[in-house]
């Protein structure tokens, strides 16, 4: 088993081990967000980039999106659609104050990983005889990924002083983090595609990707139903 399948296995192990809380915020970052007042562009850019680079759910979805994309133009088109989707809902969710249950949003984000893995495996064509519009799916799931980011920021009482520029800066950071993460993924993918193991393990890698997505869905739904149970 070559490099990318090993990386996918590592990510799946982290998910199973409970280390990959989809949108976790480090304690020091929580403290900064709670106390930040006024315009802090660079810190918010940093936090946005950090959040994307360490967001296992986002990275798993991006791996699925570019798995069988060989042309840079195609990669750019899909990633742009994803960026548009999550940028719109991130900004709208935070600035409008729209509240959506974080567990349900994160469960849908986990499902996006499952969906893309199934799409890569040709499951929809086999099961239903149809091929969903992949670009539309990436855009739609991008909306949900953006709401996932927004729900984390909504956990904190953000100061109204400088809120708009700070959130815009956070979004810029998310995009920069996405470029960094995607560049690393593309390097690994390019290296792996040149090896004979790609043909042998491409299906297994997507099955592993799908399994990781199901774990994320199960984790979030468990959190949702446990939170719904009133304390005795």
pLDDT at position 55: 84
Checking 192-200 for CB contacts under 8 A at 24+ apart, the result is 192/2, 192/3, 192/4, 193/70, 195/2, 197/1, 197/2, 197/5, 198/2
pLDDT at position 216: 93
pLDDT at position 86: 92
- The CA distance from 41 to 30, in Å, is 16
The mean pLDDT values, 10 residues at a time, for the chain of 232 residues are: 52 47 64 82 90 87 92 91 93 88 93 96 92 94 92 82 90 91 90 89 94 94 81 52
Which value, in Å, is the radius of gyration of the alpha carbons in the chain?
18
């Amino acid at each position: 088993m070559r490099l990318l399948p090993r990386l996918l296995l590592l990510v799946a192990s982290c998910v199973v081990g409970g280390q990959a809380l989809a949108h976790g915020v480090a304690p020091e970052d929580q403290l900064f967000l709670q106390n930040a007042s006024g315009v802090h562009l660079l810190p918010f850019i940093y936090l946005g980039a950090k959040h994307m680079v360490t967001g296992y759910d986002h990275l798993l979805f991006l791996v699925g999106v570019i798995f069988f994309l060989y042309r840079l133009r195609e990669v750019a088109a899909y990633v742009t659609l994803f960026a548009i989707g999550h940028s719109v809902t991130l900004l709208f969710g935070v600035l409008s104050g729209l509240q959506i249950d974080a567990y349900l949003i994160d469960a849908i984000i986990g499902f996006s990983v499952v969906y893309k893995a199934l799409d890569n495996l040709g499951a929809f064509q086999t099961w239903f005889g149809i091929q969903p519009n992949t670009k539309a799916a990436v855009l739609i799931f991008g909306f949900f990924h953006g709401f996932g980011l927004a729900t984390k920021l909504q956990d904190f009482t953000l100061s109204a002083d400088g809120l708009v520029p700070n959130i815009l800066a956070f979004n810029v950071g998310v995009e920069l983090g996405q470029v960094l993460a995607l560049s690393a993924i593309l390097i690994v993918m390019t290296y792996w595609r040149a090896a004979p193991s790609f043909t042998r393990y491409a299906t297994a890698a997507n099955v592993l990707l799908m399994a990781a997505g199901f774990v994320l869905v199960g984790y979030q739904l468990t959190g949702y139903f446990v939170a719904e149970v009133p304390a005795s």
